[in-house]
Amino acid sequence: MHIAMVSEHASPLAALGNVDAGGQNLHVAELSAALRRKGHAVTVYTRRDDPSQPERIRTPAGYDVVHVPAGPAEPIPRDELLPYMPEFGDWLHRTWSRSAPDIAHGHFWMSGLACVRGAHGLGIPVTETFHALGVVKRRHQGSTDTSPANRVELERRLSLDVDRVLATCSDELFELARMGTPHTRMSVVPCGVDLQRFTADADNAADVPRRVCPHRIVTVGRLVPRKGFDIAIAALRHLPTAELVIVGGPRPDELHDDDEARRLLRIARRHGVADRVRITGQIPREHMPALLRSADVVACVPWYEPFGIVPLEAMASGVPVIAAAVGGLTDTVVDGVTGTLVPPREPRELADAAQELLADPALRRSYGSAGRKRVASRYSWNRIAADTQRIYHRVRAQLAETEEPNEKVAAL
Ligand code: UDP
C-alpha cells in the first residue's frame, strides 16, 4: 500500500521533550518505520515550520517526510494552527488528485480535518488516531485550556466523518463512545515501544546524572503542568532517601528561562526538597534507556494521559512504574504486577507506593521483569504496525464493497 500519514504539528523528525513534541511525534515516526519494514510506501505530511526545510526528505528508516506549506514557515503553537488547516487540506487534495494514496491516516484532530478535506471526492479511505481528545482536556484544564473553542464539536463530527477511528486505549474508546462515535466504527490500537532500544540489560551510564541519594525516582515528559511533576516533588517530602530526576523540557541551556521549570523549582524549595530534585531538560532519545534504567522506580503521575509512552519505555527497561490511574496508564500498567496504580494528584498516595517499592528490591525486580514480559508480548511496534495494517485492509475492503463510498464532508 501507499500510506499517507498526516501529522500537522508533530513531525517525526522533531526532537522530543519540548512543549509541543512528545509521544505523537514518536508514534508517527515508529509506526511509519514499522509499516515501511512491512513493505509499504509511507509518506508523512507535516507542516513546514522552517523555510530551510526541503519539501521531501527520505528518512534513514525508508519512509518520506513531506513539509506542507500551510501558514507561515515558522513555529506556531499547535492551539493556533486551526486557521491553516484548510490550506493544508487543499494542498493535500491537489497532491492526492495527481497520485492518490491507498489510505490516509490522520494523527491529532486537526490532521484528521486536513485529511478529510484532502481526500474529499477522491475515494481515499481515511482513518484517524486522535492522540488526545478536546473533551478530556477541557474537563481537566477548564478555563486555562487554550484549544480552539470549537475543538470538541469538530472532533465529534470528525469521528463520524472518517472511515475508522483508532483509539489508543480503552479509556479513549469510552470517551469517544460518550461523544457519539459508534463502537462499530472504532478499534483500539495502542502506541508501542522500541524493544531493541529500551532493554533491561545494564550498559554504560556515562550520560546519566550522578546519584546523590540512595534511591532514584525518574519522571519524564514535556514540561507542562498536566504531567504532574509538582505531585512527584510534593511526594518527595515523605521519601527522605530518594532523589527525583525530572526529564524533559527545553534544551538544558534554555532551562533557566522556562516558566514551568522555574515554577517546579519554587515548589521544590517550598517543600524543602530542592537539593534532591533535578530537572535535566530535554534528553536525546539515545540517552533515555540508560536514564530509565538508572531509576529504582519510574513515576508517571499526570492529571490525565491520553496514552503515555514513558511507562512502556520504563517497563521495557525492566523498571517498576508507579502510575496515576488515568487514561492509557490503566491499560498498560498492571497494578500489583508491573507496578502500582495510584489516584491522580495525591502526593501522599504516590509517596506510600514509592516507599513500599524502594524498601523492597525483590518486589522491584519482580515488577520490572513482569513489565518487560508484558511489553515484549503486547507493545512492539511490529505488532502495532500489524494491527494497523489489518485495519487499513479492512477499511479498504469495506469501501470497495460499498456502492456509494462514504464521501467525506469537509468539516472545515
Ligand atoms: N522524551 C524524550 N526526551 C525528553 C523527554 C521525553 O525522548 O527529554 C520522549 C519520551 O521518552 C517518550 C516521549 O518523549 O518517548 C513522550 O511520550 P509520552 O506519550 O509519554 O508523552 P506526551 O509527550 O505524548 O504527552
Binding-site residues, ligand 1, Cβ < 6 A: 16-17, 22-24, 26, 220-222, 247-248, 282-283, 285, 288, 307-310, 313
Q: With CA atoms as reference, report the closest residue to 152 among 139, 165, 164, 163.
A: 139
CA 206 to ligand 1 centroid distance, Å: 21
With the most atoms of ligand 1 within 8 angstroms of its CB, the residue from 193, 224, 310 to mutate is 310
Q: Who's near 97: CB < 8 A, 6+ residues apart?
A: 122
With the most atoms of ligand 1 within 8 angstroms of its CB, the residue from 136, 288, 294, 321 to mutate is 288
Q: pLDDT tens, 187-233? A: 999 999 999 999 998 766 667 888 899 999 999 999 999 999 999 99
Q: Is the CB of residue 395 less than 8 Å from the CB of residue 103?
A: yes
Cell numbers for 174, please give them: 469510552
The CATH label, of 2.40.30.10, 2.40.50.140, 3.40.30.10, 3.40.50.2000, for the domain at 2-192+381-401 is 3.40.50.2000
Flag whether pLDDT at 15 surpasses 80: no
Q: pLDDT tens, 201-213? A: 876 666 788 889 9
pLDDT at 412: 58
Average pLDDT, the chain: 95
Q: Who's near 234: CB < 8 A, 6+ residues apart?
A: 267, 271, 347
> Could you identify the residue written with the cell 515523605?
238
Q: pLDDT tens, 19-45? A: 677 889 999 999 999 999 999 999 999
Q: With CA atoms as reference, report the closest residue to 14 among 35, 31, 28, 1.
A: 28
- DSSP H helical segments within 271-405, as ranges? 288-293, 310-316, 329-332, 347-358, 361-378, 381-401
pLDDT at 340: 98
Q: What is the ipTM of this complex?
A: 0.97
Q: Give 6's strand partners.
A: 45, 106
Q: With CA atoms as reference, report the closest residue to 110 among 91, 84, 145.
A: 84
Task: Band the pLDDT of 407: cuts 50, 70, 90.
Answer: low
- CATH 3.40.50.2000 residue ranges for the chain: 2-192+381-401, 215-378
State which ligand 1 atom lies nearest to the alpha carbon of 302: 25
Task: Band the pLDDT of 17: cuts 50, 70, 90.
Answer: low
State which ligand 1 atom lies nearest to the alpha carbon of 285: 7
CA 334 to ligand 1 centroid distance, Å: 21
CA 282 to ligand 1 centroid distance, Å: 9
Flag whether pLDDT at 394 surpasses 70: yes
* Residue 346 zone, left/alpha/beta (φ > 0; ψ -120 to 50; rest): beta
Flag whether pLDDT at 410 surpasses 80: no
State which ligand 1 atom lies nearest to the alpha carbon of 21: 23
Fold of 215-378: Rossmann fold (3.40.50)
